[in-house]
Amino acid sequence: MNDTPEPRGTSAAARIQAASTAFGIEGLVTFGVGVIAVACLYVASAVMIPITLAILLSFLVAPLADALSRLKLGHVASVCAAVLISVSVIALLCAVIATQLTDLAAGMPRYQATIQHKIDTVRSLTIGKLNRFASEAGQALQRATIEPPQPRAPNGAAAAASPQASTAVPVEVREPVPTPFELARRVLSPAISPLATAFIVFVVTIVILLQRDDLRDRAIRLFGSRDLHRTTTVMDETARRLSRYFVSQLGVNTGVGVVIGTGLFLIGVPSPILWGILAALLRLVPYVGIWIAAILPTALAAAVSPGWAMAIWSLVLFVVAELAVGQVVEPLLYGRSTGLSPFSVVVAAIFWSWIWGPIGLILSTPLTLCLLVLGRHVRRLEFLDVLLGDQPALTPVENFYQRALAGDPDDAIEQAEVLLRDCSLSAYYDKVAIQGLRLAANDVTRGSVTSAQLARIESTTNDLVDGLDGYEDREPAPLATQANRGPVGPLAPSDETQAARAMPRSVDAAPVFASQAPTSRVLCLPGRGPLDALATIILLQLLGKHGFAARSLPHEAVSRASIDSLVADDVGIVCLLYLQIDGIPSHLRNLIRRIRTRLPNVSIVAGLWTPEDTQQWSAEQQESLEAECAVTSLQQMLAACRRLDATRTVIAEPQFEHG
């Protein structure tokens, strides 16, 4: 428990770099420990199954014990009463099941004729047709071939064999009559092992409930004494999740059993209480349990009724009940889900049934839920969260980069459309597209991206920008309050405020006319990075959506050799974009000085995405940069352009009146 998990705010580049070193010595050690743990679970199943059942049962009984303790019954009396109530309920269910089975067995002879008739009907429609087809095919084959005559045995051999056959003596084997002790042993021996296991489970459950606080303290001391906060968080979350899961599952399954039993009673299926209890119990088995429970009453309905209406209505009842519970009740009760992916639930069911048999199949979901909690809080077990959890394995940034590397613009656009339901277009570009391009730029600088992959990245990004051209850059009205907890992380709704703070005093004091159309023309210039030009394309689209007349030039247009031929007298604002930059290099200062010499009346906004992901540049850094504003996001750049345009408009209006 001493291993700290990776913070949620870690950048995508750091996550990818950490993933490349995940399969080192620590990975091998973790794999070896996992193999040993699985072997121990398999070999010591006779000991581990009762203990595990007792621990999980304690989570189910604990809320009842706490409720009784609030009635001033005392801790020991509350625990004993809660366990006694649980045992009584289980015994009552077993008695009801035994009674229903007895009644069903007594009534089976009455349905024998109907069952035999339907079996004959089904056989005639299936196996009978196959037999007739095979017989006709055999006769046709026999007619097409010539059968050789079969040799007959000589009369002497038959005569010699007949005396031997007549001298055979039949032998009859009789078992001795069992004694009363042997008869009792045969009857009770199959029930001794389950009864012993049940007794151990209830005893251990009582001990766990009585010593809950002490056992928790000992577990903290054993596993995480050096990180009490994290260990306590893991244990509390595990207990909360399991208790909520068991109580909710008990309530849901009880409701399903009542609905199934009532529906089968109205349909007319015999022993409806038995099938309702069976449906409630088998529903603990994920996905397939309810359908296993549906087979028996449906088959019985087909045997009882001369027609097929009762069987069809029984099957419809199970389908409707499961769909209603699975698609409506459980999502409302559990929230979104229990945190497990459907694939992990199926694989866990197979794994635990292989380890512990039917008991493991029933316990597969809660045991896997415990592993998921460990994977979310222990760094070395983070692979469990990736394998078992229902969260996306890749962040939106990593997903965008992977789609760009694969040259799949359709999936990139589909992902963007999903994210745009909760954020604005500029927020998506800032938090996903720009960050993905930064990952790509890092790989290009290291030389790990081939020319073909670079071409796919450029093509995919251009197609993405074209595909999102129909979206307006504004927050979705119904979900504006949820922007800060969207799937791509905090979407920085205060970027305009941060940009305003980064502006000089003279500009910050100018009023902003939000309803007035921009009058300044904007020139966008990419940096010297390999993918800065793609970021410029994104900025051009956003500027156009905010009413700016914008165009772009390559970085070579402002080089020392070409700056004198630059024609941009109509430009009021120049935007520089650098996806990668360390500090404030001299070439950037020289670039700004060249632009000011050539275009003395323009305002310059520098967009610099630093490795530290700083949200704002200091006054000293801006002063050394010699630009009006330095920003770290597209939203800040848009806000700076609007403010600079408003400032230039306010300054130009008095000159227009005097003229």
The model's pLDDT over 332-345, given as tens digits with 9 standing for 90+, comes to: 665 545 567 777 77
Side by side, the strands of the sheet bearing 603-608 are: 549-552, 521-526, 571-578, 603-608, 629-631
- CA–CA gap between residue 646 and residue 507 (Å, rounded): 9
Q: How many residues are recorded in the chain? A: 659
Question: Would you say residue 221 has pLDDT above 70?
Answer: yes
Query: Is a pLDDT exceeding 50 seen at residue 507?
Result: no
pLDDT score of 597 more than 50: yes
463 and 506 in a single domain? The answer is no
Same structural domain, 442 and 545: no
Q: DSSP letter string over 242-293?
A: HHHHHHHHHHHHHHHHHHHHHHHHHHT-S-HHHHHHHHHHHTTSTTTHHHHH
- Percent of the chain scored above 90 by pLDDT? 5
Final residue before a domain boundary, out of 441, 467, 493:
493
Task: Indicate if 486 and 512 belong to the same structural domain.
Answer: no
DSSP 599-655: -TT-EEEEEE--TT--SS--HHHHHHHT-SEEESSHHHHHHHHHHHHHHHHHHHHHH
Per residue in 391-427, pLDDT (tens digit) is 777 788 888 888 898 888 898 898 898 888 888 898 9
pLDDT of 541 strictly over 50 = yes
The CATH number of the domain where 520 resides is what?
3.40.50.280
85 and 258 in contact (C-beta within 8 Å)? no
Residue 467 lies in a domain: yes
Domain count, the chain: 2
Mark whether 508 and 538 lie in a shared domain.
yes
Q: Note whether residue 419 is domain-resident.
A: yes
Per-residue pLDDT band for 505 (boundaries 50, 70, 90) equals very low
Q: Which two tokens stand for residue 485?
A: 């907890």
Model pLDDT for residues 342-369, shown as the tens digit of each residue: 777 788 888 888 888 888 887 887 788 7
Q: What Cα–Cα distance (Å) separates residue 242 from each residue in 68, 221, 239?
A: 20, 22, 5
Tens digits of per-residue pLDDT, 478-504? 543 443 333 333 333 334 333 333 333
Q: In 405-560, which ranges are E strands?
A: 521-526, 549-552
pLDDT at residue 165 tops 70:
no
What is the average per-residue pLDDT within 215-236? 70
Residue-wise pLDDT tens digits, 168-181: 666 666 666 666 66
Q: Calculate the average pLDDT of the chain.
A: 75
The pLDDT value given to residue 103: 80
pLDDT at 433 over 80: yes
To which residue do tokens 């050799």 refer?
A: 561
> Is 155 a residue whose pLDDT tops 70?
no
Residues 551 and 651 in one domain: yes
**Same domain assignment for residues 505 and 612:** yes
Same domain for 431 and 566, yes or no, is no
Are the C-beta atoms of residues 61 and 87 closer than 8 Å to each other?
no
Cα 139 from chain centre: 59
Q: Is there a domain that residue 598 lies in?
A: yes
Residue at which a domain ends, from 446, 468, 493: 493
Q: Do the Cβ atoms of 471 and 420 come closer than 8 Å?
A: yes
DSSP 341-364: -HHHHHHHHHHHHHHHTHHHHHHH
- Do residues 434 and 566 share a domain? no
Residue 326 DSSP one-character state? I
- CA separation, residue 605 to residues 583, 628, 629, 644 (Å): 16, 6, 5, 9
What pLDDT is recorded for position 225? 58
pTM for the structure as a whole = 0.57
Give me the mean pLDDT over the 215-230 stretch.
70
Domain contains 336:
no
Of residues 594 and 219, more confidently modeled: 594
Indicate the Cα dihedral angle 30, 34, 36, 39, nearest 10°.
Answer: -170
Pair (505, 576) in one structural domain = yes
- Say how many CA atoms lie within 13 Å of 450 toward its Cβ: 5
- Contact 265/272 with Cβ under 8 angstroms? yes
More confident residue, 334 or 328: 328
Residues 6+ away with beta carbon under 8 Å from 269: 275, 297, 300, 301, 304, 310, 314
| Domain presence at residue 75 | no
pLDDT at 640 over 60: yes
- Please state the rounded mean pLDDT for residues 320-328: 83
541 inside domain = yes
Q: Are residues 543 and 439 in the same domain?
A: no
State the Cα–Cα distance between residues 613 and 615, nearest whole angstrom: 6
Domain holding 522, by residue range, is 496-659
Q: Name which of 453, 440, 443, 426 is nearest 397 in CA terms.
A: 440
% of the chain residues with pLDDT over 70: 68
Q: CA 233 → CA 206, 228, 642, distances in Å?
A: 25, 8, 47
The residue with tokens 């073909």 is 452
461 sits in which H/E element: helix 451-467
462 and 398 share one domain: yes
Nearest to 283 by CA among 294, 272, 267: 294
Q: Exposure pattern of 533-547 as b/e (b: 16+ CB <10 Å)?
A: bbbbbbbbbbbebbe
Question: Please, which residues have CB within 8 angstroms of residue 329's CB and are 6 or more apart in sequence?
Answer: 252, 255
**Per the domain annotation, does 571 fall within a domain?**
yes
Check residue 365 and give its pLDDT.
78
Domain end marker among 493, 509, 537: 493
476 and 620 belong to one structural domain:
no
pLDDT band for position 511 (cuts 50, 70, 90)? very low
The H or E element containing residue 116 is helix 112-125
- Classify residue 147: in a domain, yes or no: no
Cα distance between residue 560 and residue 557, in whole Å: 9
Residues contacting 124, CB < 8 A, separation 6+: none
- Does 39 score more than 60 pLDDT? yes
* pLDDT tens, position by position, 78-104: 888 888 888 888 888 888 888 888 887
